Structure 1
């Protein structure tokens, strides 16, 4: 039987402490449908126009930006700025909040006011067509409430229904190979002048990221043990190596550039709890970890990348490069070279 908005609110009242994502999955809802049920009860449905949302985000001042997937949550405190729009891809490019966004997946948006024990929590939350979270913006004490209130009026949609229809979730594409193109892949890989070229030519050759990694082999890729991503975090913290940590979903990728310092394990989660940056990584979801070396005009770019059992990219790590204050790529590269490999024949 389909749950009504009133049913959802009643169930939530009996289970107020579960995380939104966990509660939604338990009751076979999307997270967006859970929020929509509270329309008129602290929730306002708003336009999902990325240009307008980023203009509001810039005006709010200091906020917390959150991007996640099923296995990792990435949180950054700072200000939005230097927004560059685009039909296929858009970006916010600064040291505090660094985002790569894909507007076609910004389908449902809400402004949320939720009363907590320590006060009112306000957020802008964006979801894809399946109702999965794409990006969230949480206000902080210093955020501009006048901008918030104006946006509630300016961005409000004509339809404020507590019912929300969503599309089926698109499954993760498993590792995709084209064995007949492996030599071509290796040749093109060796001629890369920008690491961003990788996705374009691998797709043209009939492969995706994980499939290409499995095919191309050394010296370009090396399979590591599943615990290697956690070891990379730990060693970077111990040695003071500044890193770039990418976490994303189909609609948004969020990047931290700088140190990782305070690591704290809690059950299956490894957590980075630093001023201005939190990371929450489910280690038990990691099935494969790869080190990938991609040539560029400014030297090789070395990553450590974690995937789940379905082939979904959970998180990526790099050393910070010369575009930031500290070029820690040489120290990062040396550290990655010492991470334990996994010698295994791949199908």
Structure 2
């Protein structure tokens, strides 16, 4: 998708007024603009451009009290209610680590940010919205009734940047990297995979072998990976709920990964969407976008890390689910058994 640079802010506002019911992302897609361009069109009308640097922004978000954190990709949205605390800065990756809000932030993708105030059904709605170079949303923070509005107002005042133009330049969105593998290195991949002691070593391994995650999965074979049918994700969610297994669900994009740690209680299917609607935790998953699913086993010093990972048709990672270990209980054995029971993808036999 190439944004329409010719659509002026005034034109965006006029079109938006005529189609007020669409969500921002859906409106932006309909008119082939970026979501950041849509938000920027309202600068001076409830929107203020602010610094996007995590080291400046996240500590101020910590002052807001209870908020809702939202991260999404094209196929999945995760929303968690809690407070931002325990911020750890990093040049390449930063973190927010609390029981409810668990984030991995990648600063090089924090290109623009806006403080947004809009009228809602029950008064003003306030949010912080962060975007990447293509104008796609990296992360959003929505204030709640109990949030500290004075702290929000101070954030807007102190972090506002000099440029408050309604024009917003974006880059062309980079396509998803397709699966990349080298079958001639399959034996080396498996040998090095077996030596891993931490899940974070996996990406370094694939990079060294000039592969990526999905490409490696396609050639590794058992016992490291097992292909599952696309419907296995929905089956897995129902089993996690029914067996009261606590999990870690990772949903993200290039700039942010948001993690839910805990149970899944309330599932509600709506058309192509499967939804988790739990107190303080919502997840919205497009089941029809799931093209490949893999059960993955990575060795670590604390035992095997078993995951279920879903990809879209372009090879983009939609979400990952792991078993959760807490001080009170290790849910991983139950999770491992649950994943083992998921049916392998049936491979059609060639016609004779």
TM-score under structure 2 length normalisation: 0.96
Distance in 1 between residues matched to 2:182 and 2:313, nearest whole Å: 20
Q: 1:107 deviation in Å?
A: 0.2
Distance in 1 between residues matched to 2:37 and 2:347, nearest whole Å: 43
Distance in 2 between residues matched to 1:119 and 1:286, nearest whole Å: 38
**2:337 corresponds to:** 334
Distance in 1 between residues matched to 2:218 and 2:97, nearest whole Å: 32
User: Deviation digits for residues 277-297 of structure 1, max 9, x if unmatched?
Assistant: 000000000000000000000
Query: How many matched pairs?
Result: 344
Alignment of 1:140 with 2:140, yes or no, is no
Partner secondary structure for residue 299 of structure 1: coil
Q: 1:342 deviation in Å?
A: 0.7
Runs of 4+ off more than 2 Å: none
User: Deviation digits for residues 145-166 of structure 1, max 9, x if unmatched?
Assistant: 1111111111001010000000
User: 2:234 aligned to 225, 230, 235, which one?
Assistant: 230
Alignment of 1:263 with 2:267, yes or no, is yes
2:229 and 2:346 in contact (8 A); partners too: no
Q: 1:305 deviation in Å?
A: 0.4
Distance in 1 between residues matched to 2:299 and 2:126, nearest whole Å: 43
**2:281 corresponds to:** 277
Distance in 2 between residues matched to 1:215 and 1:343, nearest whole Å: 17
Q: 1:344 deviation in Å?
A: 3.2
1:226 and 1:289 in contact (8 A); partners too: yes
Q: 1:116 deviation in Å?
A: 1.1
**Stretches of structure 1 lacking an aligned partner (at least 5 in a row):** none
1:242 and 1:326 in contact (8 A); partners too: no
Alignment of 1:65 with 2:69, yes or no, is yes
User: 2:104 aligned to 97, 100, 106, which one?
Assistant: 100
Distance in 2 between residues matched to 1:3 and 1:177, nearest whole Å: 41
**1:152 corresponds to:** 156
Partner secondary structure for residue 61 of structure 2: helix
TM-score under structure 1 length normalisation: 0.98
Distance in 2 between residues matched to 1:331 and 1:25, nearest whole Å: 41
Q: What is the CA RMSD across the aligned residues, in angstroms?
A: 1.0
